[in-house]
Amino acid sequence: MIPWAVISALNGDLNLGIAIIIIYAIILIVRQLVEPKIVSKKIGIHPIFTLIAMYTGFRMIGVLGLFVGPIILIILKNIFSVSIENGIIKSIFT
């Protein structure tokens, strides 16, 4: 959208260029706020942990990490929840 806004502004339609930049900013902000909540509802994990997993995955692996991070988080959550249900964690600490 940014190239479109720049080209529109350079062609003399400054209002369209500014409008496109404003729409882009709104989309960017909403996406940053809403996307972790949507992902977390689908996988059953708190949004902040989903966001941390996405960020950590991105920092470690790159763009692929945005998808791998939450998957690893889901696997770890399932391992620990099954361990707690079966009493494995209790037996280790007692």
| Domain boundaries of the chain, sorted by first residue | 1-33, 44-94
C-alpha triplet 44, 92, 74: angle, nearest 5°: 20
CA–CA separation, 15 vs 91, rounded Å?
67
Q: Is the pTM of this model over 0.75?
A: no
Helix (H) or strand (E) holding 2: helix 2-10
pLDDT digits (tens, 9 = 90+) for 22-74: 999 998 888 877 777 776 677 678 878 888 988 999 899 988 888 898 889 88
CA–CA separation, 73 vs 57, rounded Å?
10
CA–CA separation, 36 vs 27, rounded Å?
14
Higher pLDDT, 10 or 86: 10
Nearest to 17 by CA among 26, 28, 8: 8
